Structure 1
Amino acid sequence: MKKLAALLATFILVATSAFADTTVKVDGSTTVLPIMQKMVEAYMKANPTVKFTVSGGGSGNGIKAIIDKTTDIAMASRKMKDKEFALAKEKGVNAKEIVVAIDAIVPVVNPANKISAVTLAQLKDLYAGKTTEWKALGGEGPVVVISRDTSSGTYETWEELVMKGEKVFPGALLQASSGAVVQAVSKNKNAIGYVGVGYLDASTKGLTVDGVVGNEENASSGKYPISRDLYLYVNGEPTGEIKKFVDWALGAEGQKLVKEAGFVPLKKK
């Protein structure tokens, strides 16, 4: 019996090895994370021999991982910088950029806040620490500024499009994820934060910017002033299971899930 059990165990091991699953590692942006979670769930259901591990540590971490060859796909809510492309090349990595969706970064306040609209100039003053009381915008109470941390692609896009290169002031409360920003704003009636459009829910109130709503139509057209592309980065031209997944993600099924996640699908060519 022991011999039979041993032979059976050996057979199971060999059989498992013969039909071993392919595992694809994905790391990076917490903004892209809800899209990726929906995609991999649907893709694995249709392709049971392919497994994914997905973690959202921020765009900077994802880009570092693709450069260091510790991930197969990096999620990013910003473009890789020239110095990052150069470092990748030094390490033998040919970082290929793939736009997977479109986003609008929406400033959010607590639903108890009277404010419903801001201008880019007002947002800059709030995040520079120059406007410290809501009464300057028609509200009440002191302003509590919530921001993403500096490893975040959303932070860098905010710095570029809203702050115009000026730094977010040191008094801002930094959060490690978009979900944490939503939670912090929902619990503080004086708070303001910013998140990708897919993170909007009833626990916060989205503000219009320069009179424009951050929605699918305005983000897709570029009318909304804080719009951006969302990216995947891979090492070289995708092949094998990574190519199959990327092609699927950019196709009708994948882009349908972009919309289901609350973000903006790519325009049909």
Structure 2
Amino acid sequence: MKSFKKLALTAMMTGVLAFTAACGAQGTESSKDQAGAEAKQLQGEIKIDGSSTVFPIMEAVVEEYGMTQPGVKVSVSSSGTGGGFEAFIAGETELSNASRPIKDEEKAALEEEGIDYTEIQLAFDGLSVVVNKDNDWVDHLTIDELKKIWVEDGTVKKWSDIRPEWPEEEIKLYSPGTDSGTFDYFDEVILDGQPIVEKATLSEDDNTLVQGVQGGKYSIGYFGYAYYAENKDTLKIVPIDGGNGPVEPTNETIESGEYAPLSRPLFTYVKNSAIKDQEEVYDFMKFLLENAATLSEDVGYVQLPEEEYTKQLETLETLK
């Protein structure tokens, strides 16, 4: 299976990627699927929005799915987890990607609209803290030091404020925007609900954050592990000491939970009515769960245990 790393992570996150019929497949025509069996050719449209962190996984899935079902148009946007849920609640999408679990207020809004949904876990991510490649002073950061860097306290933050031996230079900060599930997660485990530094540059586009850290020696930022993995030659990862010594995010430390507290699951949410009433949505979800493990790894995330995908496939069958 081809790698999607370069394609997935250099695409503009705010754009809409639509994969449409290339072969003019019609109605009930059949073609060979990946297993060699005859596959009914479907028609339809599926709209997906949400997390920019989950975007690379979904983009790779949509690309592969388009090879087996070219008559199904699947569009993927990345307005952030919060923005995705807004569209989901408004009835504008069938799937909503999220880098955090759905909030109580979002659940209540969906209930008010009469929308039943199912949570699907896709992979694991290790939220990655990075600095400029020329930064030769940071060897690791503790949770308390992260808080000191990122929480607004009315002062201009300098590296020497974190450790006296570090440069007396202002820290340039790059963070996902407040509609991002990654921001929500960082807010929960690092900021602890306190305001983020006012001078921080916030963006829903993770590539903007990557470029910001790449462009300044005194910069620091954070985003999903896949974006670090794609740019590791031009960024420096920061091991995080969550209380048991510094740990660098890797596939192994993320999956084991050793990279704490910044390891987290990634999700998509699907409308139950779409699975039941739209054959193409059921078919896409089945394809997603059958291929999420491989494609998540392809774009730089960490797959779930195989039994988790199997369990979710069994749940999918009950929703038909």
TM-score (norm 2): 0.75
Tell me which of 183, 191, 197 is aligned to 1:155: 183
Q: 1-side partners of 2:117 and 2:58: how far apart?
A: 19
Shift of 1:171: 2.1
1:76-98 alpha-carbon deviations (Å, 9 max, x no partner): 11111111101111011113211
Residue aligning to 1:7:
none
Q: Give 1:133's aligned residue.
A: 158
Equivalent residue, structure 2, for 1:203? 234
Provide Cα deviations, 1:167-220, integer angstroms capped at 9, x if missing partner: 212221212221111111111111110010000112211111011111111111
Structure 1 residue 216 corresponds to structure 2 residue 254: no
For structure 1, which runs of at least 5 residues remain unmatched after alignment? 1-14
Cα offset for 1:254?
2.6
- CA shift for structure 1 position 116: 2.9
1:81 corresponds to 2:103: yes
Deviation of 1:31 (Å) = 0.5
1:267 is the counterpart of 2:291: no
Alpha-carbon distance in 2 for matches of 1:45, 1:116: 45
**1:16/1:145 Cα in 2 relative to 1: closer, same or farther (>3 Å)?**
closer
State the Cα distance separating 1:129 from its structure 2 match.
4.0
Which residue of the partner structure matches residue 207 of structure 2?
179
Secondary structure at the residue paired with 2:111? helix
Q: 1:228 aligns with which of 256, 261, 264?
A: 264
Which of 271, 289, 295 pairs up with 1:250? 289
- Match in the other structure for 1:52: 74
Q: Give the structure 2 partner of residue 12 of structure 1.
A: none
Gaps of at least 5 residues in structure 2 are 1-23, 29-41, 308-320
User: Hey, what's the Cα distance between the residues in 1 that align with 2:296 and 2:58?
Assistant: 9
What is the identity, as a one-letter code, of the residue corresponding to 1:121? Answer: D
Q: CA deviation at 1:145?
A: 1.5
| Superposed displacement of residue 162, structure 1 | 1.3
Q: Is the 8 A contact 1:63 1:233 kept in 2?
A: no
Once the two structures are TM-superposed, the CA of residue 47 in structure 1 deviates from its matched residue by: 1.7
Conservation of the 8 A alpha-carbon contact between 1:99 and 1:229: yes
| Matched-pair contact (CA < 8 Å) for 1:85–1:95 | no
Aligned counterparts, 1:164-175, within 5 A = 164-175=192-203
Q: Within 2, Cα distance between the matches of 1:18 and 1:268?
A: 34
User: Cα RMSD (Å) of the superposition?
Assistant: 1.9
TM-score (norm 1): 0.89
In structure 1, C-alpha distance between the alignment counterparts of 2:213 and 2:76, rounded to whole Å: 26
Of structures 1 and 2, the larger Rg is shown by 1
Deviation at 1:17, TM superposition (A): 8.1
Secondary structure of residue in 2 paired with 1:53: strand
Amino acid at match of 1:217: E
Residues 1:122 and 2:145 aligned together: yes
- 2:26·2:71 contact (CA, 8 Å) conserved in 1? no
Amino acid paired to 2:247:
V
Residue-by-residue CA offset, 1:216-269 (whole Å, 9 max, x unaligned): 111111111101111101112634222222222222x33101001001111122
8 Å CA contact 1:113–1:139 kept in 2: the answer is no
Residue type of the alignment partner of 2:251:
E
CA distance in 1 between partners of 2:304 and 2:81 (Å): 20
> What is the count of residue pairs matched by the alignment?
254
Separation in structure 2 between the aligned mates of residue 50 and residue 255 of structure 1, nearest angstrom: 22
